[in-house]
Amino acid sequence: MVSRERGDPRSLFLYKLKKNLILISFTLLVFAFSCREEGELEPNLPPETTFSIESINVADSNRLNSIVRLSWYGSDKDGYIKGYEISQDAENWAKTTSQDSTFRFTFPEGSELVDITLYARAIDNNGAKDPSPAFIKIPIKNTSPTVGFSEDLVIPDTAFIVATTEWSAADLDGEETITDVYLSINGKEWYPLNKSEKVFSIVPADFNATDTTSAYIYYGSRTNPAAETIPGLVLNDTNVLYIKAVDQAGAESMLDTSNTFYLKSKQNDVLVVGGVEAAHNEYKSLLNSINLNYDFLNLTIGNGRYRPALWNTTFRLQLSFYDKLFFYSDETTFLNPYTNLKIRLIEFAAASLQEYANSGGKYLISTKFDWDDDIEAIVGVLPIQSVSSKNYGQAWLLKDDPVAKYKDTTYEIADTVGGQPMNRRDTTITIVDNDFPVLRTSEFSIQGVGVFNIDPNDTEVLYRAKLIDRATFTPWTSTNIVASARRRNGKLNQIFFTIPLYRLKGNQANLEALFNRIFNQEFN
C-alpha cells in the first residue's frame, strides 16, 4: 500500500475540491434569497399616531373648561399620512385632515367634573389605520355662567308705562352652553326669556290694577308681546327685576338685579308729551281750561333722563296705549347717550308717530325748526312736503296779525317796525272755515316762523300766517302755510303746526277754542 503523506498530490486535490464546493453552495444560497419574481413587494407597515401631549395631570381645582384645543401627528415608515380619525369611544370615528382642533365638550346635567376620553388614529396613503390609536384623558370642569343687566340701557328711576332694559350673558365654556335665561319681577316666579333677544320691555297687562298685576314682555321693537305673561308687577310703586342664567350642566349664575324703578301707570286716553320747558305751564293751563284729562310725559325734566333711549321701542309702545296725542317741541337738538345720535325730538319720534297714525292714533304736533335744518326724517311722515325755498328765518309774525284758515291774499298798510318804516298792503282776509278760530300773538313779534309746502294729494292747509319779510319790511312773498292736516274717515287725525302754539295767545279764548275743536270734536 502506498502511504498518504503530507504533500501528497492526491490529497491536496481532494481538499481544494471540497473547499470550492462549499463556496459554490453558499453563493447559490445567497443568490436564491436575493432573486424574487418580478413585482413581488414587502408587506405595508401601518402608521403610528401620537398626541402632542402625553397626559393632562392637574388637580380638580385646576381642571380645564369645556373648550379644549388639542393637536396630534402621525408617522409612517414606508409611506405618508393621508388623514386622521378622532373618536371619544373608540367605536364611532370622525374623519379629518387637520392635525389640531378646538373641542367643545358637554356635561351631563348635574355634573361638575367630567373626564373626557379622546382617541386619534392616523391613516396612511394605502388606507391602513393605526391599530393602536393614541389616547388621552382630558379632565374638565364646568364653569357657571354669568348674566347681568346692561349699564348702557338702564331703566330710569321712574318708568312711564313701559320699562325697557337689556341683558347680556357669558360662559367660559361658550355662550352656546347657556340653555336658559330667567327673569323675575320683585322676586316672584321665574319666567324664561327668549335667549336670542337681549332687549325687552315690560308693560302692565292691567292698567287699572290696584295691587300687583301681570306684565307683558315685548322683545326688541316688536309690535306684539310674547304669548305668556309674567307676574309680580306693581303699578304706581317701586319694582326690581331679577335675572339668572342656567347652563347645560344645570349650573346657575349668580343673580343680578336691575335698579329700583317706579312704574307710573296709564290713567287717561290722552297723552301729552312735553319737549319745551318754557311751555309746560302754558299748555297745562290751556288743556285744563277745556277740561281735558291727560297723562303727561315730561321730556325736559332732570336733564332729559326720561327721554327714551330706544324711541322706536319704548316711545312706540307708550303711544300705542293712547287714542290721542299732543306732542310739542322746538328746534333744539338732544344727544341720545345710548345711540350717540344728536337730533331734534321730533326726529327721534318720527317713526313712532307714523306707526301711531297708521294704527288709528290721532295727534296734534306743535314744533319748530330753523330754515336751514334738514327735515328729511319727517317729510311725508308728518303732513309736510318741503320747507320754503326762501330764508324763512326772516319770516316774522307781528303782534295782532292773523294766523287763520284763510285764502292767500295781498295786503299793504303804512306802519313801522322797531322804528323802521315798512309798507304793507292789507285787504280783507277771507276766512275759509270759521270753526277754526283766528289766532294771534301777544308778543311784539315771533321771529323765524316756520313756513312750508304740502302735498295736496293727501294733505290740506289748516292755517296760514300773515307775515313780513324782516330783511325788506315788505309782505312775505313765499309760502305762508304754518299748519297742515290729514283726515281719516272725514275727521282730522293728523294736525301739524310749525309755529309754537303757546305763543299764539293774543286771544286766549280763541286758542282754547282751537284745542277744544281738535280734542273734543275732530279727535272724537
The domains of the chain, with CATH numbers, are: 48-141 (2.60.40.10), 146-264 (2.60.40.10), 270-522 (3.40.50.880)
Residue (of 216, 220, 213) closest to 165 by Cα position: 220
Lowest-confidence pick of 14-18, 79-83, 344-348:
14-18
Selected residue with higher pLDDT from 167 and 52: 167
Say if residue 452's pLDDT is above 80: yes
pLDDT digits (tens, 9 = 90+) for 162-220: 999 999 999 888 888 899 999 999 999 999 999 999 999 999 999 998 889 999 999 99
For residue 366, count CB atoms less than 10 angstroms from its CB and return exposed for 0-12, middle for 13-18, buried for 19 or more: buried
Q: What is the mean pLDDT of the chain?
A: 86
Say if residue 70's pLDDT is above 60: yes
Report DSSP state, residue 519.
I
Residue (of 477, 384, 464, 382) closest to 430 by Cα position: 464
For residue 288, count CB atoms less than 10 angstroms from its CB and return exposed for 0-12, middle for 13-18, buried for 19 or more: exposed
Say if residue 28's pLDDT is above 50: no
Q: 161 pLDDT band (50/70/90 cuts)?
A: very high
pLDDT digits (tens, 9 = 90+) for 238-269: 999 999 999 988 889 999 999 999 999 999 99
- Crossing angle of helices 280-289 and 508-517, in 10° steps, is 70
**134-141 and 158-160 strand pairing:** unpaired
In the predicted model, what is the mean pLDDT of residues 76-91? 90
Residue (of 160, 162, 213, 215) closest to 193 by Cα position: 215
- pLDDT at position 10 is 54
Q: 503 pLDDT band (50/70/90 cuts)?
A: very high
pLDDT digits (tens, 9 = 90+) for 473-482: 888 888 899 9
- pLDDT at position 11 is 54
CA angle 330, 432, 270 (to 5 degrees): 45
Say if residue 99's pLDDT is above 60: yes
Say if residue 4's pLDDT is above 80: no
- pLDDT at position 40 is 59
Residue (of 326, 482, 331, 478) closest to 394 by Cα position: 478
In the predicted model, what is the mean pLDDT of residues 274-282? 96
Three-class DSSP category at 295: strand
CA 311 centroid distance within chain: 12
Q: In which residue are the cell numbers 325734566 written? A: 301
Q: How many helices (H) and strands (E) does the chain have?
A: 5, 37
- pLDDT at position 202 is 97
- pLDDT at position 463 is 93
What lies within 8 Å, CB to CB, of 297 at 6+ separation is 160, 271, 272, 273, 274, 306, 318
Type and span of the H or E element at 174 = none
pLDDT digits (tens, 9 = 90+) for 395-418: 999 998 889 887 654 433 333 334
CA angle 6, 9, 15 (to 5 degrees): 80
Rounded alpha-carbon distances, angstroms, from residue 323 to 273, 295, 521: 14, 12, 14
Lowest-confidence pick of 76-80, 394-398, 421-425, 450-454:
421-425
Three-class DSSP category at 217: strand
Rounded alpha-carbon distances, angstroms, from residue 490 to 1, 82, 136, 463: 160, 80, 80, 18
In the predicted model, what is the mean pLDDT of residues 351-363? 95
- pLDDT at position 412 is 37
% of the chain beyond a pLDDT of 90: 61
In the predicted model, what is the mean pLDDT of residues 147-157? 95
SS (H, E, C) 432-494: CCCCCCCECCCCCEECCCCCEECCCCCCEEEEEECCEECCCCEECCCCCEEEEEEEECCEEEE
- pLDDT at position 430 is 58
- pLDDT at position 5 is 44
Q: 112 pLDDT band (50/70/90 cuts)?
A: confident
- pLDDT at position 369 is 84
Residue (of 445, 485, 452, 483) closest to 467 by Cα position: 445
Query: CA-CA distance, 35 to 13, in Å (whole number)?
Result: 33
SS (H, E, C) 2-54: CCCCCCCHHHHHHHHHHHHHHHHHHHHHHHHHHCCCCCCCCCCCCCEEEECCC
- pLDDT at position 42 is 78
